[in-house]
Amino acid sequence: MRTRTATITAICILFGGLTTAVYAQQGQPRPTRNLQVLPTEWTVADMQPVMQGVAAALGVQCTYCHERDRALDTKPQKLVARKMFDMTMHINNEHLKGIGEPAPEGQQKVTCFTCHRGALKPVTSPEGGGL
């Protein structure tokens, strides 16, 4: 799993570097950011580990949700990802507030991995159903 995460991380970093090079060669400014759920003051360095975690949790690469210009909202997967971010933040900040032990500093109790477990579609219940 660590090798897969490292590979996904390397791909995302490489893709980001290639994107910067392409825009520089074409004399175009780097695309603007389009943060709507994550804090708007976050830098690329703040977002990168979060995005790497999402990619690993779903077993996808960055291009699953993002176009070359990452600010674009043309892929439906990106819009779903925003809803999922909003949902997990709401669960952590509202529903789990005061329940059980608090999450360690800088971590969340519920993440993408909680349901996805490395699969694109959530692994929601064991064989045989149940809640």
Q: Using one digit for the tens of pLDDT, what is the confidence trace for 112-131?
A: 999 999 999 988 777 766 66
Q: Are 116 and 58 in contact (CB under 8 A)?
A: yes
With 0.85 as the threshold, say if the pTM is over it. no
Residue 125 covered by a domain:
no
Half-sphere exposure for 104 (CA within 13 Å, toward CB)? 1
Residue 128 covered by a domain:
no
C-alpha 42/C-alpha 35 separation (Å) is 9
For the segment 54-61, the average pLDDT, to the nearest whole number, is 95
Hey, which of 2-6, 30-34, 84-88 has the most confident mean pLDDT?
84-88
Give the total number of structural domains in the chain: 1
Residue 120 CA from chain centroid, whole number? 12
The residue count for the chain: 131
Residue 107 covered by a domain:
yes
Residue 127 covered by a domain:
no
Q: Which domain holds residue 78?
A: 2-116
